[in-house]
Amino acid sequence: MNKFDRATRKYYYDDAHLSECSARVVKIGGDYIELDETVAYPEGGGQESDHGVIVSLEGFEIRFVHVRKMYTTRVHIPDMPDIGVDGVIEHVVHDDDKGLLEKLRLGMPVVVRIDVMRRARLSLSHTASHLVYLGVSEVRPDAVAGTLGCHIRSDAARFDFAVSSRFLPDELAEIERLANAFVTRNSRIHMYAHAEYRDARYWECEGRVIPCGGTHIDSTTPIGSISVRRKSMGSGKERIACEFAQAMPEIDAFHV
């Protein structure tokens, strides 16, 4: 049970394409705003957060440049990393807009609106990263077992692995081939929640399932050609990164 006395309603799980919603101000911090509801995805699972604006019905806008999830309850689910569920979402305000915080009051109605292009690029990048991860799981299952973390940016993504031997050129070529095969097949992406915990999510493509609470596009085609490269991170550590320079225009990818 969540010991915190409140939780933010997360609309990004109801509709990944929703770009704005109405909300009310719950808390005003020195550099952040907490709302009772939001469409803004917080940083988590390696994915960078949404950016956007909080619009007052009185006519002023406050930009947020980071979104974070706080005061979650840790749960253990078999075959899924321990995750935090429930909790509240804080929208971190742009430095130049902090002075506008004094114009807010608790309970004030607002509209929270995200940067749709940024969300679309992050969703595409996260989906591409999973295709590469599936390739790694086939070519180097030992690396998957030693996954250290990932970082999903709007223009690229990468995974870090603890390995006993480096990735060889022919292995990288095969990982790239396998990832691009999903793109060529126009594979569909499905997201669904755990039966008990709404914040525990799963990503599925062609019957392959990965625990993931990030945002994704609905089809692999908009990703275009994926390029894969490696970088040594020191003894026993390898970084596998992917880029997708031929991706479809972001807004088209978001709505496929």
Token pair belonging to 177: 């081939």
Domain residues for the domain of 36 are 9-114
Q: Residue 241 and residue 60: Cα distance in Å, rounded?
A: 40
Within this chain, do residues 152 and 245 fall inside the same structural domain, yes or no?
yes
Give the residues across from 121 on adjacent strands. Answer: none
1 inside domain: no
Within this chain, do residues 210 and 241 fall inside the same structural domain, yes or no?
yes
Q: Residue 118 and residue 251: Cα distance in Å, rounded?
A: 9
pTM reported for the whole predicted model: 0.93
Within this chain, do residues 93 and 56 fall inside the same structural domain, yes or no?
yes
Count the neighbouring beta carbons within 10 Å of the beta carbon of residue 249: 10
3 inside domain: no
Q: Residue 249 and residue 120: Cα distance in Å, rounded?
A: 9
Within this chain, do residues 250 and 144 fall inside the same structural domain, yes or no?
yes
Within this chain, do residues 220 and 155 fall inside the same structural domain, yes or no?
yes
Token pair belonging to 198: 């709404």
4 inside domain: no
Where is the domain boundary, 57, 86, 114? 114
126 inside domain: yes
CATH number, position 199 = 3.30.980.10
Where is the domain boundary, 58, 82, 114? 114
CATH number, position 107 = 2.40.30.130
Residues in Cβ contact with 153 at an 8 Å cutoff, skipping those fewer than 6 apart: 48, 122, 125
Within this chain, do residues 66 and 140 fall inside the same structural domain, yes or no?
no
- H-only helix segments in 77-208: 116-139, 141-145, 169-184
Q: Residue 153 and residue 173: Cα distance in Å, rounded?
A: 23
Residues in Cβ contact with 195 at an 8 Å cutoff, skipping those fewer than 6 apart: none
78 burial type by CB count under 10 A (0-12 exposed, 13-18 middle, 19+ buried): exposed
Rounding to the nearest 10 degrees, give the CA dihedral for residues 181, 184, 188, 193.
Answer: 40
| Angle subtended by helix axes 116-139 and 169-184, to nearest 10 | 130
Each residue's pLDDT, cut to its tens digit, for the chain (256 residues) gives: 445 789 999 999 988 889 999 999 999 999 999 999 999 999 998 999 999 999 999 989 999 999 999 999 999 998 887 888 999 999 999 999 999 999 999 999 999 999 999 999 999 999 999 999 999 999 999 999 999 999 999 999 999 999 999 999 999 999 999 999 999 999 999 999 999 999 999 999 999 999 999 999 999 999 999 999 999 999 999 999 999 998 975 555 555 4
Within this chain, do residues 247 and 122 fall inside the same structural domain, yes or no?
yes
Rounded alpha-carbon distances, angstroms, from residue 173 to 57, 73, 145, 209, 217: 53, 41, 20, 23, 25
Where is the domain boundary, 83, 114, 145? 114
* Domains held by the chain: number: 2
